Amino acid sequence: MEFGPIFRALTRHRARSILIVAEVALTLAIVANCISLIGNAKAAMARESGFDDDNLLSIRSRPFAPAFQQQEYVNGVIDDDVRRLRSISGVRDASNTFFLPWQGGGSSGEVKIAGGADTRFRTQMYRADPHLFDTLGIHVVRGRNFTPQENESATFQDITSNVVITQALADLLFPNGDALGKQLRDPDETETYNVVGIADKFYNPYGWPIHEYALFFTGRSGLSYLVRTEPGKAEALVPLIERALVRANDGRDVEIQTIPEVRRQYHTRDQVVVTSLNGVMILLVGVTGLGIVGITSFSVAERRRQIGTRRALGATRGAILRHFLLENWLVTTIGAFLGLGLAVALNIGLVTLVEGAKIEWPILAAGVVLLWTIGLFATLGPALRAAQVPPAIATRNV
């Protein structure tokens, strides 16, 4: 291995070498973090809610008739709507609730353990009727569901409510596993929540990190519903449900969305991130490869007489080819190791100031291998041309 001539060549052309090193380091730092961010976005898009999302419909009514200003009239419409929805062929269940999976937010509040420390826990909070859990496709795994009598008698003025909480919230509040039968209070201690049931498999993305925490208390929730259909029938039932509700009461507009549609809308930003970062990576890798090709080609053209002299002194074409490949490999390796430190520093900044997960070492290792490969193929063409330089070139004056 002729490392001596290689190091001397790099020393004589410092600016050229520094340019490649900087380009490789910057590319590794950015590409590695792009891959990490893309992985996070794809993981978020693949996250399961625990619900029967593919067969869920969200229904929102916007009333305009004066009669809807009377709460008793609204309650009657809600009860009639729910009965009609459950009677439609292809509908498995329907629930009157404001809760909307994958909306990226919702209703939340703080609770604390009754009789305990003044530690407050933020959680999602929704009204639900006894059919909500079956509609979502989840189960009350401990305790009990709400009763029809509780749902009928519940009002917004209640200061004591029976609640069902998710398993994740139960584990947060009561790590010893004894949440069932316990009491929670609101921060002002004006309302009391009796935990009568614990539900499983709940995930609804939220602005705060409370995606798996939820508390449900019973009662009517306005003119909003979730409907669970038989598998594969959700989209086909949309116009049928819309006609049935408008025909029952034409003093309102009805809007229906499939939950997969709501989920796609929620993940629009993640999809844009993935597409944009893929474009950035392709551009950077392409620019780096072209930069190496250009600089190596210039180096070959500049050193033609030197190459010819080495050929005249007995250097084989293989030796010339190996010289340029090793030269590029050394420069790329220096840039890659500098890029590792830059990638970690950039990742710390992203995690601290914006969002994201810590970068994994396999991603960094893959980035180094990728740049080695790019450098090899980018150098191969100019190196092959260098190997073709004839020994006679050394005797030319021009």
Do 303 and 390 fall into the same domain? yes
Do 283 and 352 fall into the same domain? yes
Do 348 and 285 fall into the same domain? yes
- Tens of pLDDT, residue by residue over 352-392, are 776 666 888 888 888 888 888 888 887 777 777 777 777 76
pLDDT at 398: 44
Domain-embedded: residue 71: no
Does residue 369 contact residue 50 with C-beta atoms inside 8 Å? no
Domain-embedded: residue 94: no
Can you tell me the mean pLDDT for 190-210?
94
Domain-embedded: residue 53: no
Question: Which residues are within 8 A (CB) of 370 and not within 5 positions of it... i.e. 6 or more apart?
Answer: 31, 285
Do 146 and 213 fall into the same domain? yes
Do 273 and 331 fall into the same domain? yes
- Picking from 185, 219, 253, the residue at the C-terminal end of a domain is 219
Does residue 266 contact residue 203 with C-beta atoms inside 8 Å? no
The parent domain of residue 364 ranges over 3-46+268-395
* Helix (H) or strand (E) segment spanning residue 375: helix 361-387
Q: How many CA atoms lie within 13 A of 269 on its CB side?
A: 5
Does position 17 have pLDDT exceeding 70, yes or no? yes
What are phi and psi for residue 49, nearest 5 degrees? -80, -25
- Residue 200 CA to residue 137 CA, distance in Å, equals 10
Do 275 and 205 fall into the same domain? no
Do 123 and 24 fall into the same domain? no
Q: Which of 18-27, 55-64, 150-159 has the highest mean pLDDT?
A: 55-64
pLDDT at 135: 97
Does residue 309 contact residue 394 with C-beta atoms inside 8 Å? yes
Domain-embedded: residue 52: no
- Residue 50 CA to residue 254 CA, distance in Å, equals 27
Do 24 and 143 fall into the same domain? no
Our count of domains for the chain comes to: 2
Domain-embedded: residue 372: yes
pTM given for the model: 0.78
Domain-embedded: residue 386: yes
Share of the chain above pLDDT 90, in %: 53
- Picking from 157, 185, 219, the residue at the C-terminal end of a domain is 219
Domain-embedded: residue 288: yes
Domain-embedded: residue 58: no
